[in-house]
Structure 1
Amino acid sequence: MTDLKYLRGYPEPLLAQVRGLIETAQLGDYLARKYPARHDVQTDKALYGYVDELRQQHLRNAPRIDRVLYDSKLDVIRNALGLHTALSRPHGGKLKASKEIRIAGLFRDAAPEFLRMIVVHELAHLKEKDHNKAFYQLCEHMQPGYGQLELDLRLWLTWRDNSPSPLVGEGRG
């Protein structure tokens, strides 16, 4: 039986449907049809600009992010896809606060919708620390259809784990 670790907590009828798509090797085709494009945000500098543009568009009063980068090790650590951190360090006689967003390196080759969903998620943490109702309302405000994108992203991750050779972006324009 296929382990659907990214879909834990979803209703059993949905899980049965996903298992059927995996068994008939149709999940990848479904995702490729729904998300045919790849984004061109390939460098940490481009990612910083992308994140800052979304921050300015939706969270003008939120503090600036000091550092944004792709992290190739992040998808292994606690199944994190993105990470938002705020560090305070002594600098002279004052505390210097530093805000950082790390995005799992596997999203370099993902659909633009998935990258945006992860960035929106991490930006929402600037206002809401916990995954509560207000957090998800903010995500939905910044990215209409956020809930469906989150599910589709989890399907994409499931497909990658269950594909014999998941070549990310294969067959995409």
Structure 2
Amino acid sequence: MSVHRQDPAGRAGEDAGNDTGLKLDAYLPYRLSVASNAVSGLIARAYQDRFGLTIPQWRLVCVLAEDGGLTQGQIVARTVMDKVTVSRAAQGLVKRRLVGRAEHHADGRSHVLDLTAEGRRLYAEIAPLALAYEAALIAGLAPDEVALLKRLLARLQTAAGALAGDAVAGPPA
């Protein structure tokens, strides 16, 4: 039995879904995911082995080091991680006394998270390692290629946000 379908370009045809021309290794979302997983996996092993941190915990520490005290909602928006991931990361960091939790003066339902002195010491130790990994990863790229890559990634993130209907489509602030 033949099935009539439209391909993404709007062309109708028999069994159009069977021969779309999609090749996984050439499919940009797949390539981005594979590259992201490879980089995250490499760095996650270093943070876990040396500092006992997960990637979400590292991101939370980094955001708090850069921005100061934030609510979990602000961290969700800044990191584009989901609420549960941020909550679990925060709980682990509070338990280790790397992050402190204080009541939010304007909103009694939320708390402000901030690095403790120990958390700031840990960040000061990890930040140079993170920068060294970045330098090693981009060592084969020219500076203009790195700048172009960053611009293109920001544009892809903005486009994905717009397609998803996000009110603020674009890279985290």
TM-score (norm: length of structure 2): 0.29
- Which of structures 1 and 2 has the larger relative contact order (alpha carbons within 8 angstroms, sep 6+)? 1
More strand by proportion, 1 or 2?
Answer: 1
More helix by proportion, 1 or 2?
Answer: 2
Larger Rg: 2
TM-score (norm: length of structure 1): 0.29
